[in-house]
Amino acid sequence: MSTAPRRLTLADIADSRAYERERDEFRSRVTALKQRRRLPIGPVVTVVFENRDTIRFQIQEMARVERLTTDAAIQEELDTYNPLVPEPGALRATLFIELTNDEEVREWLPKLVGIERAVVLHLDGGGVVRCAPDARHASQLTREHITAAVHYIGFELTAEEIDAFGRGATIAVDHPEYPWETAIPTESIAELLGDLRG
């Protein structure tokens, strides 16, 4: 299995004028890509599996909105988001708790403390792979009685688990306050196998 690094570097991030020239086409491509990588789980949780293109888009858009122009500022974004670029044998994802009003926030965020450790892949044949939260992000979650609306999580799979994933999988949340699951569509399986197999 290939171990070539996929992390982004300063050379991968276009300056503002160059990015404006490619932005419409790149945004359309990433939007289509995310449709295959976005999985709703129940009424308020969505997982988006990230890759090099989705993370490059995130960094380019942050640089555009915040007018980041120095190498140091761009490098800070690279350091923040590069852990979400999966290496072979791994999947990386952003978990969103999608709430639309203050009442939902008050209801769900206290109930879902610990959700960043409660996402699992159920593989063809009965295997289970549990997520792990991104360590840097988790270290910033300082409140014990309420969770954040966004979490960064990852899954590490063996070669045998990757093969089983390729035959079919379900993604589930086994949090006691939120027992939901979603079958992963065939096109999403195919997309994510590209991450896993390099």
Q: What is the reported pLDDT for 1?
A: 43
* Cα(90)–Cα(6) distance, integer angstroms: 12
Q: What is the reported pLDDT for 144?
A: 77
Digit-coded pLDDT (tens) for 96-149: 999 999 999 999 999 999 999 999 999 999 999 999 998 876 666 656 789 999
* Cα(5)–Cα(88) distance, integer angstroms: 9
* Helix (DSSP H) and strand (DSSP E) numbers for the chain: 7, 9
* Cα(34)–Cα(27) distance, integer angstroms: 10
Digit-coded pLDDT (tens) for 36-73: 999 999 999 999 999 999 999 999 999 999 999 999 99
Residue 2 pLDDT grade (very low, low, confident, very high; cuts 50, 70, 90): very low
Digit-coded pLDDT (tens) for 69-82: 999 999 999 999 99
28-61 residues labelled b (16+ CB within 10 A) or e (exposed): eebeebbeebebebeebbbbebbbbbbbbbbbbe
* Cα(38)–Cα(68) distance, integer angstroms: 28
Digit-coded pLDDT (tens) for 5-35: 589 999 999 999 999 999 999 999 999 999 9
Residue ranges covered by each domain of the chain: 10-197
Considering only CA atoms, which of 62, 50, 47 is closest in space to residue 16? 62
